[in-house]
């Protein structure tokens, strides 16, 4: 699935999530109480992977059902409509998560150290 597949390398393979997930730099005199951030690739990366997989699966299901209806194979118009809506919602969720992640990253980069 081209639109879905193209988001994945951009975010997980690339530098963006690595930067977000990277451990915070140690500043002299500042003690960070909690644990350091998880290793790169986990956390947001895995969540987005899961999302992409879900969206892919739902879009394929929607496409299969739609094709069946188009070819006159099945009287399952309602399943096709529901599958398309579900795929749309999943896709929309993934896009919003991506947007928020990018926003947070940009916000972080703007912070004065």
Partner 1 sequence: MVDPIFQSDNYVLARKLLDAAVVRQEAVAANIANAETPGYRRVDVAPDFAVQLKARLESGELSASAGSLKPRIVEDTTARAIRPDGNSVEIEHELLAMNKNAVEHEYLTEIISQNIKQLKMAITGRTV
Partner 2 sequence: MNLISGIDISASALAAQKTRLDIVAQNIANAQTTRTASGGPYQRQVVSFETELVRSQGSANGSLQSVRVAQVTTDRSPGQQVYNPQHPDASPDGLVTMPNVNLSQEMVDLITASRTYEANLSVVKNARQMAMRTLEIGK
Question: Which positions touch partner 1 (CB under 8 A)?
Answer: 47, 50-51, 54, 75-79, 82, 85-86, 89-90, 92-93, 96
Per DSSP, the three-state class of 56 is helix
Of the candidate spans 13-21, 40-48, 75-83, 104-112, the one that interacts with partner 2 by CB under 8 A turns out to be 75-83
Name which of partner 2, partner 1, none residue 96 binds, using a CB cut-off of 5 to 8 Å depending on partner kind.
partner 1
Of 81 and 102, which has the nearer Cβ to partner 2?
A: 81
The answer to whether 49 and 8 are in contact (CB under 8 A) is yes
Radius of gyration of the chain (CA): 19
Rounded to whole angstroms, how far apart are CA atoms 60 and 86?
A: 11
Q: Tell me how crowded residue 18 is: count the other CB atoms within 10 A of its CB.
A: 14
Interaction between residue 93 and partner 2 (CB under 8 A): no
- Considering the complex, what minimum distance in angstroms separates the CB of residue 100 from partner 1? 11
């Amino acid at each position: 699935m081209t639109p879905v597949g193209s988001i994945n390398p951009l975010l997980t393979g690339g530098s963006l999530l690595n930067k977000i997930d990277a451990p915070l730099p140690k500043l002299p005199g500042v003690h960070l109480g909690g644990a350091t951030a998880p290793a790169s690739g986990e956390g947001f990366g895995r969540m987005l992977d899961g999302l992409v997989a879900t969206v892919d699966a739902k879009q394929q299901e929607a496409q299969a059902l739609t094709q069946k209806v188009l070819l006159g194979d099945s009287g399952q118009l309602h399943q096709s409509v529901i599958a398309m809506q579900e795929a749309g919602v999943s896709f929309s969720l993934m896009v919003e998560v991506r947007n928020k992640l990018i926003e947070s990253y940009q916000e972080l980069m703007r912070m004065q150290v």
